[in-house]
């Protein structure tokens, strides 16, 4: 086996990184647009010849949610591409299909366009399902997936919760409703630039068609993704915040998914739905070790 430079760099970072280590600064990003079907997918690309990592944000957020992990991955020798999902960011707002599988196909189109795969795909929230779908639909292009705060099956919300969502999305307060919910997903620690990120997200959701796209995505069933989980054979890392408010018992959800995918989950105590942004120094060592193992194959 030949040891790759990225493996050596990642190993040194993992060995030398204390949990409270300061994170390196995120490099400036330039938006690129890839035409796909009915619209275009917006993405940025650190470039280089290192192994490709494609990062997909969750619904109701922007590709900047990877701003804490991107510089670490770049420092470890990876080429990092982050994309905005359908309806969000600088990607087209209006599509006929907002499903996790459709977003997974967008990621595959991006990998093909870059001609730099196979890739490891990072997916947060519903986009964890997109990562699994991409691996299912084109296994030769996806060598591993990292599922961050993954929502890959339908919950069982009470009628009160269903009513709250209907009311929340039902009037001119809908952006404020989503932003209040989004803010609650960081229970222990908000990043230093949290206020700026919140303002940017709110401004994006006020653009024509974007809050409607989000509302559509929120209402989609994940039954097809749940059925896919048992058939998945791609190497996977599951990362969950123990205080993720999207689950009655986030740790139990992580253990279920980890067992289904044949990989022990990483459960971050105190973190919420964005463990990679709320506590990146706790996520990075395990993430880099996972990538290093894939590089050594």
pLDDT in tens, 42-91: 999 999 899 999 999 999 999 999 999 999 999 999 999 999 999 999 99
pLDDT of residue 157: 79
pLDDT of 152 over the 70 cut: yes
pLDDT of residue 86: 98
Indicate the pLDDT class of residue 159, thresholds 50, 70 and 90: confident
Work out the average pLDDT over 120-143: 98
Work out the average pLDDT over 224-240: 96
Portion of the chain with pLDDT greater than 90, in percent? 84
Indicate the pLDDT class of residue 22, thresholds 50, 70 and 90: low
**Measured in whole angstroms, how far is the alpha carbon of residue 5 from the centre of its chain?**
26
pTM here?
0.90
pLDDT of 4 over the 60 cut: no
Q: Can you tell me the distance from the alpha carbon of 37 to that of 98, in angstroms, rounded to the nearest whole number?
A: 13
User: In the chain, which ranges are continuous DSSP H helix?
Assistant: 5-16, 70-75, 100-114, 127-137, 159-168, 174-183, 194-205, 210-218, 223-229, 250-261, 275-278, 280-295
pLDDT of residue 1: 31
pLDDT of residue 161: 82
**Strand 52-56 to 79-83 pairing:** parallel
pLDDT of residue 139: 96
Instruction: Give the count of beta carbons closer than 10 Å to the beta carbon of residue 114.
Output: 18
pLDDT of residue 26: 72
pLDDT of 15 over the 60 cut: no
Indicate the pLDDT class of residue 160, thresholds 50, 70 and 90: confident
pLDDT of residue 58: 97
Output the CA–CA distances (angstroms, integers) from residue 123 to 104, 132, 255, 266, in the order listed: 10, 9, 18, 15
pLDDT of 16 over the 70 cut: no
Whether omega for the bond prior to residue 120 falls within 30 degrees of 0, making it cis, is no
**Strand 236-241 to 266-268 pairing:** parallel
Indicate the pLDDT class of residue 117, thresholds 50, 70 and 90: confident
pLDDT of 124 over the 90 cut: yes
Determine the length of the chain: 297
Q: Can you tell me the distance from the alpha carbon of 198 to that of 221, in angstroms, rounded to the nearest whole number?
A: 27
Q: 279, 189 in Cβ contact below 8 A?
A: yes
Q: What is the pLDDT of residues 86-111, one digit of tens each?
A: 999 999 999 999 999 999 999 999 99
Tokens standing for residue 86: 């359908």
Tokens standing for residue 33: 């647009």
Domains of the chain (ranges; CATH) run 5-295 (3.40.50.1820)
Q: Can you tell me the distance from the alpha carbon of 244 to that of 65, in angstroms, rounded to the nearest whole number?
A: 16
pLDDT of 17 over the 50 cut: no
pLDDT of residue 23: 57
pLDDT of residue 297: 81
Provide the mean pLDDT of the chain: 91
Indicate the pLDDT class of residue 177, thresholds 50, 70 and 90: very high
Q: What is the pLDDT of residues 26-40, one digit of tens each?
A: 767 789 999 999 999
Instruction: Give the count of beta carbons closer than 10 Å to the beta carbon of residue 9.
Output: 17
pLDDT of residue 21: 46
């Amino acid at each position: 086996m030949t040891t790759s430079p990225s493996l050596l760099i990642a190993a040194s970072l993992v060995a030398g990184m204390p949990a409270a280590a300061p994170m390196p600064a995120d490099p400036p990003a330039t938006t690129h647009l890839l035409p796909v079907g009915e619209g275009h997918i917006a993405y940025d690309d650190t470039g280089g010849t290192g192994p490709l990592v494609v990062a997909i944000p969750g619904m109701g957020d922007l590709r900047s949610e990877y701003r804490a992990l991107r510089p670490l991955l770049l420092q470890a020798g990876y080429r990092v591409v982050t994309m905005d999902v359908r309806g969000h960011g600088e990607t087209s707002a209006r599509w006929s299909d907002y499903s996790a599988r459709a977003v997974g196909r967008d990621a595959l189109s991006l990998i093909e366009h870059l001609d730099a795969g196979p890739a490891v795909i990072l997916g947060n929230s519903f986009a964890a399902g997109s990562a699994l779908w991409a691996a299912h639909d084109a296994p030769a292009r996806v060598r591993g997936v990292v599922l961050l705060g993954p929502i890959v099956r339908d919950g069982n919300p009470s009628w009160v919760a269903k009513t709250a969502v209907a009311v929340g999305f039902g009037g001119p307060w809908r952006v404020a409703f989503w932003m209040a919910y989004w803010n609650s997903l960081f229970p222990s620690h908000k990043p230093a630039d949290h206020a700026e990120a919140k303002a940017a997200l709110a401004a994006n959701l006020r653009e024509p068609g974007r809050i409607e796209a989000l509302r559509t995505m929120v209402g989609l069933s994940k039954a097809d993704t749940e059925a896919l989980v048992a058939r998945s054979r791609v190497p996977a890392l599951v990362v969950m915040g123990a205080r993720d408010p999207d689950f009655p018992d986030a740790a139990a959800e992580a253990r279920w998914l980890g067992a289904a995918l044949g990989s022990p989950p990483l459960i971050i105590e105190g973190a919420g739905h964005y463990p990679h942004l709320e506590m990146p120094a706790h996520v990075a060592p395990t993430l880099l070790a996972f990538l290093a193992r894939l590089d050594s194959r």
